[in-house]
């Protein structure tokens, strides 16, 4: 874990999600961003896919917009070519 959330490296790629941790109240939204980096840390072009481990707590669109649905915690993941990075989303009541 680092300041950017959870980042995995597979071979020469890594995906960094920012912000790495977010606290929201039910109904709020936040825009996440994902940066694909090569083995040297240089930014690469590419499209990530977004997913949430618990869509009942927080939904995520294909452009990384997260919407808080109900109280709880979940992980939102951005993947590119089998490599993923994530952010922890904590949702509290209104």
Q: What's the pLDDT tens digit per position in 2-31?
A: 445 555 555 678 999 999 999 999 999 999
1 domain-assigned: no
**Total structural domains within the chain:** 1
38 domain-assigned: yes
Domain carrying residue 55? 6-92
24 domain-assigned: yes
Burial class (CB in 10 A: 0-12, 13-18, 19+), 3: exposed
- The domain spanning residue 49 has which CATH number? 2.60.40.1080
Average pLDDT over every residue of 40-60 = 96
* Rounded Cα gap, residues 46 and 94, in angstroms: 36
Does 4 or 67 have the greater pLDDT score? 67
Instruction: Please report which confidence band the pLDDT of residue 1 belongs to, taking 50, 70 and 90 as the band edges.
Output: very low
How many CB atoms neighbour CB 7 within 10 A?
A: 18
In this prediction the pTM is 0.85
Task: Supply the pLDDT for residue 54.
Answer: 98
* Rounded Cα gap, residues 87 and 55, in angstroms: 14
Task: Supply the pLDDT for residue 19.
Answer: 97
């Amino acid at each position: 874990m680092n300041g950017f959330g959870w980042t995995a490296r597979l071979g020469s790629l890594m995906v960094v999600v920012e912000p790495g941790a977010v606290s929201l109240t039910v109904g709020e939204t936040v825009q996440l961003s994902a940066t694909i980096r090569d083995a040297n840390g240089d930014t690469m072009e590419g499209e990530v896919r977004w997913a949430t481990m618990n869509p009942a707590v927080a939904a995520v669109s294909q452009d990384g917009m997260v919407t808080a649905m109900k109280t709880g915690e979940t992980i939102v993941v951005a993947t590119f070519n089998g490599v993923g990075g994530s952010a922890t989303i904590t949702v509290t009541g209104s």
